Chains A and B, each alone.
Chain A
Amino acid sequence: MRLLTHNMLSSNIKGVVNGFPLRIEAEKVLEKNVEMNSDFLKKMFEKIEWKAFVEASRGMGYTELPEEADSSMLDSDEFLNRFHHALLELHLEEGALVCPETGRRFPVRKGIPNMLLHEDEV
């Protein structure tokens, strides 16, 4: 699972008001090279919750992202490269996602988070 997906995911357990962001517990992180598309990055930048994104990338062991970011930084190639790497090239392979409100763990195996809820959580 990439951080792109992580930044969109929130926990949808019944009764949880703020299920975002899911905390990452990383056991194994993979890197896969992907071609960069700056148009896509610029469009996604508007949708990304930056604070959660930085935190998640740190959880995955990538610390090059700046604490704060605004759209003017998108003109810098260096920033775009880092953004691209964190967003699309880092894969959480093994570990877990943890709901910030209830502490419920969603295990991640072979890159697939198991988001199935128990019957009493629906």
Chain B
Amino acid sequence: MASRPERIAPPEIFYDDTEARKYTSSSRIIEIQASLSERALELLALPEDGVPKLLLDIGCGSGLSGETLSEEGHHWIGLDISPSMLDIAIEREVEGDLLLSDMGQGLGFRPGVIDGAISISAVQWLCNADRSSHNPRLRLKAFFTSLYKCLSNGAKAVFQVYPENNDQRELIMNAAMHAGFAGGIVVDFPHSSKKRKEFLVLACGQLSTNASLSQGKNEDETRLSDDDSDSEDEENQTVRNLDRHRHLKRQKKSKSGKGREWILRKKDQMRRRGNDVPQDTKYTGRKRKGRF
């Protein structure tokens, strides 16, 4: 993302009438939103018993993501803080119910009634303090604890997020863990800066962290094979948990030198991104003679 709307203004001000209309009339954004919500729904892994579910769409905006839910036959309740976005949703006659609400103030639902929640590109807004009374840590806490409360046992929540940096990622993840959720981050297209998408997959209930993580991995494997048949040229999936010691590992590597294998891997990576890369030959990664 070249520009981040979070840096410009608070969501209820940034998404005013013109911006909301612009957002919803752009075919590119509609397409991205649809594919993101389809993927989120897939990660939500609802039981396939043909019975419609009651889902939450947090930060529903103009209802682009909710449309995917309606197509699958589910009932949904959408929350957003921008009245202009909700006005457009009404104009588009979305099927879900809409609430004007701030997720950082906590969700007002009865305990255990919701079957699942998705949120497309919204949670990172919580990391901002747009008013003097805002404390991102407290707002994240209020959001995740109230969400945990209203989800039924075993329900999942999938958030597509654009964290600005690792600190933000950790802030969001920690708040979720403190609220009692188990889960991790699924990264689609980790090697491409444009297509890279992060999904926070959280499970509520008695699942242990490991169980839900391995579940994510399995899903990814199936996804990988799907994409192979589609001959997608990106290496698609990795599952990561937040690891505090990652930077230590990286340091060790750089001390021992990078080596031919590393160069080949990097070149391969650049090729997959479609860059012009010189051929691999016997000279690749070879040390120069000393007299040079």
Give the B-binding residues of A (Cβ under 8 A).
Answer: 1-2, 4-5, 7-12, 19-20, 37, 39-40, 43-44, 47, 49, 88, 110-117, 119, 122
* Residue in B73, B100, B107, B142 whose beta carbon sits within 8 Å of that of A112 in the complex: B100
Docked pose: A39 CA to B86 CA in angstroms: 30
Docked pose: A113 CA to B101 CA in angstroms: 8
Are the C-beta atoms of B99 and A40 separated by less than 8 Å? no
Are the C-beta atoms of B99 and A112 separated by less than 8 Å? yes
Are the C-beta atoms of A115 and B51 separated by less than 8 Å? no
Docked pose: A37 CA to B74 CA in angstroms: 11
Report the minimal beta-carbon distance from A54 to chain B, rounded to whole angstroms: 16
Report the minimal beta-carbon distance from B85 to chain A, rounded to whole angstroms: 11
Docked pose: A85 CA to B81 CA in angstroms: 29
* Residue in A7, A19, A39, A49 whose beta carbon sits within 8 Å of that of B51 in the complex: A39
User: Which residues of chain A come closer than 8 Å to B108, judged between CB atoms?
Assistant: 9-12, 19, 115
User: Which residues of chain B come closer than 8 Å to A11, judged between CB atoms?
Assistant: 108
Can you list 5 A-B contacts (CB < 8 A)? A2-B97, A11-B108, A37-B73, A39-B51, A116-B81
**Contact A8 to B90, CB < 8 A, known contacts A40-B52, A113-B99, A116-B105:** no
Size bracket of the B interface? 20 to 34
Determine if B146 is an interface residue (Cβ-Cβ < 8 Å).
yes
**Contact A116 to B52, CB < 8 A, known contacts A8-B77, A40-B75, A47-B113:** no
Determine if B109 is an interface residue (Cβ-Cβ < 8 Å).
yes
Determine if B98 is an interface residue (Cβ-Cβ < 8 Å).
yes
The residue in chain B whose Cβ has the minimal distance to the Cβ of A34 is B95
User: Which residues of chain A come closer than 8 Å to B77, judged between CB atoms?
Assistant: 5, 8
Report the minimal beta-carbon distance from B233 to chain A, rounded to whole angstroms: 41
State which residues 103-121 of B face A: CB under 8 Å. Answer: 105-110, 112-114
